[in-house]
Structure 1
Amino acid sequence: MRIATFNINGIRAAQRRGFEQWLRVRNPDVVALQEMRARAAAIPPGVFGGYHLAYDEGTLAGRNGVAVLTRLRPESVRTWSGTALLRAPGETHTDTVDLAPMPLARGLREFADQGRYLEVDLADAPITVASLYLPKGGLPAHLQKPGRMREAPDDGARYERKMRFLDAFARQLARSRRDARARGRDLLLMGDLNIAHTRHDVRNWRRSGQAEGYLPEERAWFDSILTPRTLVDVVRARHPDTDGPYSWWSWLGESFEGDVGWRIDYHLATPRLARTAVAAGTDREPAADRRMSDHAPVVVDYDL
């Protein structure tokens, strides 16, 4: 079973840059998407071909939005908001449906309507697949230096928001993993986590120690959710001692040409599922002018 995760940085822009061709050629069985950035009515007709779509667009216009594409209609769909757009192939309706209530961990309520998390129970495999878009965050107040930042100083507000999310999501993730196990399923969490876990995940790791996404406390949080008995970083398990494969490169300069990237898009699987991975990597485009997004798809083949 071929499963992919892809931060597309806007479905309309990705379509113009070749998303449909990638989907047709790579032919994944399941795709988790982040940053759809579109209201239901603005999703290009036919862009997902023969796939079923489950989508939580959130309430922030032009931002966020997570989805999962599947070949068969999912057995069930869950979101933090309690609603989702569900479309079969060929459908164009924009009506969302109310889903069964999903208990939320303490602290997640402030993020529930932002279109950051959606999970589905696959109909053709005992797997719960989740798509996550984790907040980018920022620098803590003591590291913010006016004039040396792309964004205006905020006294650490974006950093504090991300840390609140991480604290709450760790509890929610443990719950989702236990719930999947109770249903006889493995859990596969995919998405843009906006954290590079180790020095192998950042090309310029020595200069990134005080950069958002590679802060010591962010990396320590990542350590806490990965253990041999809970979740495994599938791509890193397949490439244990190599730099990359990176999944994000800045649009600026020649970061892509020089492979000056970050690995911030992941497949995190329960151990039984992780052991079935036979191939894993990123679909890095051959040239900068052929990029569909500032991210690349991360694709894993699981021999179920």
Structure 2
Amino acid sequence: MIPTSVEILSKNAGALRVASVNVNGIRAAYRKNMADWVAARDVDILCLQEVRAPDKVLRELIGEGWHILHAEAKDKGRAGVAVLSRVEPVAVRENIGDEYFADSGRWVEADFEVNGETFTVVSCYVHSGELGTQKQEDKYRFLQRMTDYLPALAAEKDHVLVVGDLNVVHTEKDIKNWKPNHNKRAGVMDEEIAYFDGFFSSVGYKDVARELAGDVQGPYTWWSYRGQAFDNDAGWRIDYHMATPSLASKAIKSHVDRASGYDLRFSDHAPLVVDYQF
């Protein structure tokens, strides 16, 4: 899981390194040596999704040296998002502003001061959804709330970065097997994709990893534990850094920390790490 390339690991002076990963349960991830990855990656802000543990457990596992903002889900063992930072945020908010999602553990915001400007970081976990069920309806409601809320957030702050497991592939480049999944599975439905068309056009945010990678297949961030998905790189790109344009222009390096082998994974997601040069 830990990259070995000096080019990937090195960080420029003045760069802010932000990483996001769905840990698929923080306790399980730490049993699989997530701590080694954290120690090696020199991350300034670490955003987690699917923490699925009480706040006390998260703090014990992460250890000292971090300021921790953690929004637990009401349902034990479900969801949970966190923003971990080396410097203390100046303000925090623990939900997306819709009472329906207030205790869902899917959205948390932290404001930081960087060079005299406000830099807001959001750790977000969009519902995976399930076609024909309330889970899918909740997913659409959450995506609509994001559509309504993100422009206002951008208008209030100097820089905004929304990261996390957003559970939708935006284009055919973001999934290995497009045709068997398109409009057949949650996460690959045109109605879901339309929200992302909006995020990256009328709402005004930028898809940082895509802009840095260019018009290529992937790089994917999630692979099913089933079958040979990981070995065949049959993945989905569903983890994002969505940034306001001024911040996106500062992104200089992006990397998906895909494990070198199936047995070395600490989650079914790989961390997405981006350096922003201030």
Query: TM-score when scaled to structure 1?
Result: 0.82
Give the CA RMSD over aligned residues. Answer: 1.5
Distance 2:73 2:185 in 1: 28
The aligned residue for residue 75 of structure 2 is 60
Deviation of residue 44 (structure 1)?
A: 5.8
Distance 1:218 1:43 in 2: 32
Aligned 8 A contact 1:12 1:44 in 2 = no
Distance 2:22 2:112 in 1: 21
1:211 matched to 2:185? yes
The aligned residue for residue 21 of structure 1 is 36
1:131 matched to 2:133? no
Q: For residues 60 and 229 of structure 1, do their structure 2 counterparts lie closer, same or farther at Cα, with a shift above 3 Å needed? A: closer
Distance 2:59 2:30 in 1: 8
| Deviation string, structure 1 residues 150-204 (Cα, Å, up to 9, x no partner) | xxxxxx3222221122122211222222222xxxx20000011000100000000
Q: Among residues 171, 175, 179, which one is paired with 2:156 in the alignment? A: 179
Q: Which entry has the higher C-alpha Rg, 1 or 2?
A: 1
Percent identical pairs in the alignment equals: 41
Matches within 5 A, 1:134-283: 134-140=126-132, 156-180=133-157, 185-209=158-182, 210-227=184-201, 230-283=204-257
Aligned 8 A contact 2:150 2:203 in 1 = no
Distance 1:262 1:203 in 2: 7
1:43 matched to 2:58? yes
Amino acid at match of 1:139: L
Distance 1:211 1:229 in 2: 25
| Deviation string, structure 1 residues 208-257 (Cα, Å, up to 9, x no partner) | 11211010110011101112882000000011211111000001111111
Distance 1:227 1:277 in 2: 19
Aligned 8 A contact 1:132 1:191 in 2 = yes
The aligned residue for residue 99 of structure 1 is none
Amino acid at match of 1:288: Y
Classify the secondary structure of the residue corresponding to 1:45.
helix
Q: Among residues 94, 114, 130, which one is paired with 2:104 in the alignment? A: 114
The answer for unaligned runs of 5 or more in structure 2 is 1-15
Classify the secondary structure of the residue corresponding to 1:260.
coil
Aligned 8 A contact 1:36 1:67 in 2 = yes
The aligned residue for residue 34 of structure 1 is 49
Distance 2:82 2:20 in 1: 10
Q: For residues 48 and 123 of structure 1, do their structure 2 counterparts lie closer, same or farther at Cα, with a shift above 3 Å needed? A: farther
Paired residue total: 260
1:300 matched to 2:274? yes
Classify the secondary structure of the residue corresponding to 1:173.
helix
The aligned residue for residue 262 of structure 2 is 288
Amino acid at match of 2:20: T
Aligned 8 A contact 1:20 1:48 in 2 = no
Query: TM-score when scaled to structure 2?
Result: 0.89
Aligned 8 A contact 1:73 1:123 in 2 = no
Q: For residues 49 and 17 of structure 1, do their structure 2 counterparts lie closer, same or farther at Cα, with a shift above 3 Å needed? A: farther
The answer for unaligned runs of 5 or more in structure 1 is 81-101, 141-155
Q: For residues 283 and 228 of structure 1, do their structure 2 counterparts lie closer, same or farther at Cα, with a shift above 3 Å needed? A: farther
Distance 1:268 1:44 in 2: 27
Aligned 8 A contact 2:147 2:203 in 1 = no
